[in-house]
Amino acid sequence: MAKAHNLGFPRIGANRELKKAQEAYWKGRISKEELIETGVMLRKNNWTIQSGLDWVPVGDFSFYDHVLDMSFTLGNIPSRAQKAGGDLFDQFFRVARGRSPVDGTSEGVAAGEMTKWFDTNYHYIVPEFSEETHFSPDVTRLIEQIDEARAAGVSAKPVLLGPVSYLRLGKEKGNIDKLALLDSLLKAYEVILGALEEKNVEWVQIDEPVLVMDLEEEWKEAFRKAYAALSGLKIKKMAACYFGTLGDNLDLALSLPIDAIHVDAVRGRSEVQKVIEKLPAGMELSLGVIDGRNIWKTDLTALLEWLEPIADKLGDRLWLAPSCSLLHVPVDLSLEKSMDSEILSWLAFAVQKLDELVVLAGAVNKGREAAEAKLEANRLALESRRTSSRVNIPEVKARAAAATPDMGRRKSPYAERAALQENILGLPLFPTTTIGSYPQTAEIRSVRRKFKKGEIDEKTYTERIRAEVRNVVAVQEELGLDVLVHGEPERNDMVEYFGEQLEGYVFSGNGWVQSYGSRCVKPPILFGDIRRPKPMTIDWITYAQSLTDKPMKGMLTGPVTILNWSFVRDDQPRSETCLQLALAVRDEVLDLEKAGIKVIQIDEAALREGLPLRKADWKEYLDWAVGSFRITANGVEDKTQIHTHMCYSEFNDIIESIAEMDTDVITIETSRSDMELLDVFDKFAYPNEIGPGVYDIHSPNVPKTEYMIDLMQKAAKRIPKRRLWVNPDCGLKTRDWPETKASLKNMVEAAHRLRETA
Ligand code: GLN
Ligand code: ZN
């Protein structure tokens, strides 16, 4: 009999109960006990939902982040958080967000660094390793939750982040080699596993997702050493790998002394036969067959076709599961009350995915007949999706098929364009600009909300937004900025705004996914061929341009970012979907140009995020991603100046691809690293113009003029000053007006002084 199990369940609650409780606790509106109670309630609900499974994850819940939980379970707590006093709960929130409610008005401590969890939009708190790091395991949380799970009547399978992944994903502070900590770390894992063994736990799930990444030999060795050290413990260990294939780590993974291995049979489907061939006789295999990274229904019949022979072969050694933790999908589709019902019938959120898993396991174990009604309903839903005229639009497909790389080529090389643009735009040396958004006040947000709810009519809405555009333009003129923006007051989010206007998109009402801590995002759902029924930004931008003689930037989100921040259809390659988006946004670019807009910015904030986990796959991604961007951007005349913006700092390893985008100007984040990131330009002569962000918009601090001059002078050492722009490092929507005006005033002053001395 195959066993059905889950790797992790969303912790936020179907109605974001966790977010509400966390934020209330941080603000002192509820007590610690009430927050803890919410946790108990959420876990109980989650186990009830999962009670149809043979094994249920325990320890996947967290009050902030499961990696941070693991740090606390290991007793790896930065001393700055401990010194501030309070109990473990306070220390936990100090590392998570810099302060705990008991800290009152104190300054708090530096929060732990946060970074993206593999290629998901989930962010974890990075474990810290320093000279003073030592581990003192504390299994209280796990033991308590095992008891809770058992009381809820489910078979508890505790989940730990594995030792090698934990170490690999952490960061060295100071002059140490984190691998040197492996021995003491393993001692801590031995204690933890020993405690679980004592608790009569049969299976423990040990997540080792770094096995799907490129590993240097010393890290492979760390795996061998780690699992050899833990092999003395009798508790059955399942190593869980997800988000990709094992690739060249396959033999290593199968050589470890573990009792079962979980592989991602969605992204790694092509590798499964090989895993089965090489699977040691004593090892069980968990296949992650339900996509934990997307929201589509599984084609259960097709899956069974593939799975049945495998089940025959593996018998009791087979486990079935989602591909990864369901943390990355929304909780429950049944709460969607107003979503397009046709599209809704094609979707599955976490609850529905587990239903699918139960049906699948039933069909595998008792034969398809036992599950026939459910399978038939599933077939019908898939059939409706496959044949829907909203999913496949022949004209859209034909247009994408006819697109050629030529469409992504500017008419003349940069140098010629630049001369022409200089004439037309008449910009000074060190031109100043901003990245797009201006402070989004509560008033602006409420105007948008009221319009959405139908509480104000379109005319009132337009007038209110136009008033804000007038304000933003007036402020910029007064500050003396050179290239202006309209401020984006009509946009709630840079992807949602375009998704709402494109055919092929649908929005859920409640499809929240945790991004970090209490922050959740609701990714739009790209279900079908993409078409732009009408212009999306022209009215706002031309209105803004009519208010000023200075150039007004058209402001768009690029195809790769729209793709990377959505749940994307899985019935065609992402590259194809990206190309459709590219063509739709290209039409907008050309319409802006036709409407007389001379400068157009196309943001690709998320281009880097889409990079595959393995370097060998980078080129293919970058080829189509950059190709799509070029199709969007480069159909314009030479006289039109194209900008792009990217708000991540580590672009050194993809600088050549960025140069290939051939935008006239790129604005990027660099201020936090003191322009060190520009070192790449010592080796690579970036050919076009660049605006290295001169101040960090994430901080409320007003940057000093001298500081920005200094940074620009550093930049001018690497990039000829004729090709340098002066701008903040990202949009200003999270800032307030006083600090924005003060900062920009200093920035413009810095540009003036740079011109004088140039
Ligand atoms: N134009 C967008 C803004 O200014 C860019 C945001 C981003 O890069 N994340 O808000
Ligand atoms: Zn940005």
The string of pLDDT tens digits covering residues 279-310 is 999 999 999 999 999 999 999 999 999 999 99
pLDDT at 207 over 80: yes
Q: What is the pLDDT of residue 679?
A: 83
Instruction: Please give the average per-residue pLDDT across 531-553, as a whole number.
Output: 98
Q: What is the pLDDT of residue 758?
A: 83
Instruction: Please give the average per-residue pLDDT across 84-97, as a whole number.
Output: 91
Return the axis-axis angle of helices 538-546 and 574-594, rounded to nearest 10°: 30
DSSP lists the bridge partners of residue 287 as 263, 320
Q: Whats the size of the chain, residue-wise?
A: 758
Q: Is 645 in the pocket of ligand 1 (CB under 6 A)?
A: yes
Q: Is 486 in the pocket of ligand 1 (CB under 6 A)?
A: no
The string of pLDDT tens digits covering residues 439-454 is 999 999 999 999 999 9
Choice among 588-597, 693-702, 709-718 with the minimum mean pLDDT = 693-702
Q: What is the pLDDT of residue 108?
A: 80
The string of pLDDT tens digits covering residues 126-171 is 999 999 999 999 999 999 999 999 999 999 999 999 999 999 999 9
pLDDT band, residue 347 (cuts 50/70/90): very high
Percent of all residues in the chain with a pLDDT value above 90, rounded to a whole number: 92
pLDDT band, residue 672 (cuts 50/70/90): low
Percent of all residues in the chain with a pLDDT value above 70, rounded to a whole number: 99
Instruction: Please give the average per-residue pLDDT across 460-479, as a whole number.
Output: 98
Contacts 24+ apart (CB under 8 A), 618-622: 618/654, 622/654, 622/657
Give rounded-to-5 percent helix, strand, coil for the chain: 50, 15, 35
pLDDT band, residue 681 (cuts 50/70/90): confident
CA triple 167-169-175, angle to 5 deg: 65
pLDDT at 671 over 80: no
Tell me the C-alpha distance between 287 and 125, whole Å.
28
Q: What is the pLDDT of residue 651?
A: 78
DSSP letter for each residue of 595-619:
TT--EEEEE-TTTGGG--SSGGGHH
Other beta carbons within 10 angstroms of residue 627's beta carbon come to 22
Instruction: Please give the average per-residue pLDDT across 62-91, as a whole number.
Output: 94
Q: Is 435 in the pocket of ligand 1 (CB under 6 A)?
A: yes
User: Cβ-count burial of 91 within 10 angstroms (0-12 exposed, 13-18 middle, 19+ buried)?
Assistant: buried
pLDDT at 650 over 80: no
* 437 Cα: distance to centroid of ligand 1 (angstroms): 6
pLDDT at 648 over 80: no
DSSP letter for each residue of 523-556:
--EEEEEEE--S-SSHHHHHHHHHT-SS-BEEEE
Instruction: Please give the average per-residue pLDDT across 544-555, as a whole number.
Output: 98
The string of pLDDT tens digits covering residues 559-595 is 999 999 999 999 999 999 999 999 999 999 999 999 9
* Nearest ligand for residue 733 CA: 1
Q: What is the pLDDT of residue 106?
A: 78
Q: What is the pLDDT of residue 49?
A: 98
Tell me the C-alpha distance between 362 and 383, whole Å.
22
Instruction: Please give the average per-residue pLDDT across 172-197, as a whole number.
Output: 97
Average pLDDT taken over every residue of the chain: 96
DSSP lists the bridge partners of residue 157 as 57
The string of pLDDT tens digits covering residues 715-752 is 999 999 999 999 999 999 989 999 999 999 999 999 99
Instruction: Please give the average per-residue pLDDT across 2-18, as a whole number.
Output: 98
For 555, the token pair is: 């402001």
pLDDT at 676 over 80: no
Q: Is 437 in the pocket of ligand 1 (CB under 6 A)?
A: yes
Q: Is 433 in the pocket of ligand 1 (CB under 6 A)?
A: no
Active site annotation includes 698: yes
Helix (H) or strand (E) holding 626: helix 618-633
Q: Is 603 in the pocket of ligand 1 (CB under 6 A)?
A: yes
* For ligand 1, mutation pick of 437, 484, 669 (most atoms within 8 Å of CB): 437
User: Cβ-count burial of 544 within 10 angstroms (0-12 exposed, 13-18 middle, 19+ buried)?
Assistant: buried
Backbone angles phi, psi at 157, to 5 degrees: -120, 100
Instruction: Please give the average per-residue pLDDT across 76-86, as a whole number.
Output: 90
* 435 Cα: distance to centroid of ligand 1 (angstroms): 6
Atom of ligand 1 minimally distant from the CA of 435: 4
Instruction: Please give the average per-residue pLDDT across 543-572, as a whole number.
Output: 98
DSSP 719: S
DSSP letter for each residue of 95-121:
HHHS--GGGTTS---PPPPEEE-TTSS
Tell me the C-alpha distance between 197 and 292, whole Å.
29
Type of residue found at 210: V
Tell me the C-alpha distance between 164 and 353, whole Å.
29
* 733 Cα: distance to centroid of ligand 1 (angstroms): 8
pLDDT band, residue 649 (cuts 50/70/90): low
The string of pLDDT tens digits covering residues 110-119 is 889 888 999 9
Backbone angles phi, psi at 555, to 5 degrees: -130, 110
Q: Whose CA is nearest to atom 6 of ligand 1?
A: 731
* Nearest ligand for residue 437 CA: 1
Give 194 or 685, the one with higher predicted confidence.
194
Instruction: Please give the average per-residue pLDDT across 320-346, as a whole number.
Output: 97
Q: What is the pLDDT of residue 677?
A: 75
Choice among 90-94, 96-100, 601-605 with the minimum mean pLDDT = 96-100
Q: What is the pLDDT of residue 642?
A: 98
**Helical H runs in 634-731?**
655-660, 680-683, 705-718
